[in-house]
Amino acid sequence: TDLLLRKLPFARLVREIATPLYQMGSEGDNWRWQSGAIQALQEATEAFLVNLFMDANLCAIHAKRVTIQVKDIQLARRLRAAWGNPV
């Protein structure tokens, strides 16, 4: 399926998050990212978020609401952890 997030902003986000990691290394060199690696990270990230929001939506529906609230996402994450998915 098509990706939901634009590729360039996501790639910038990955680099921003990774910057402190490679700055902590002894060499201090910047990492190079293969486009396939960024794409794999984006696909995994989007799949995780879509499933999390689907679970949160079920929590909101169970509470007889149509709008997802922060507490729905928190509950979905707690339920996932209880079933062996730590995130």
One digit per residue, the tens of pLDDT, for the chain of length 87 reads 688 999 999 999 999 998 887 777 656 566 788 999 999 999 999 999 999 999 999 999 999 999 999 999 999 999 988 887 766
- What is the extent of the structural domain holding 16? 7-82
Q: Tell me the C-alpha to C-alpha distance, in Å, between residue 69 and each of 15, 55, 59, 62, 66.
A: 30, 12, 9, 12, 9
Total structural domains within the chain: 1
Q: Indicate yes or no: pTM above 0.95.
A: no
CATH code of 22's domain = 1.10.20.10
In a domain, 47, yes or no: yes
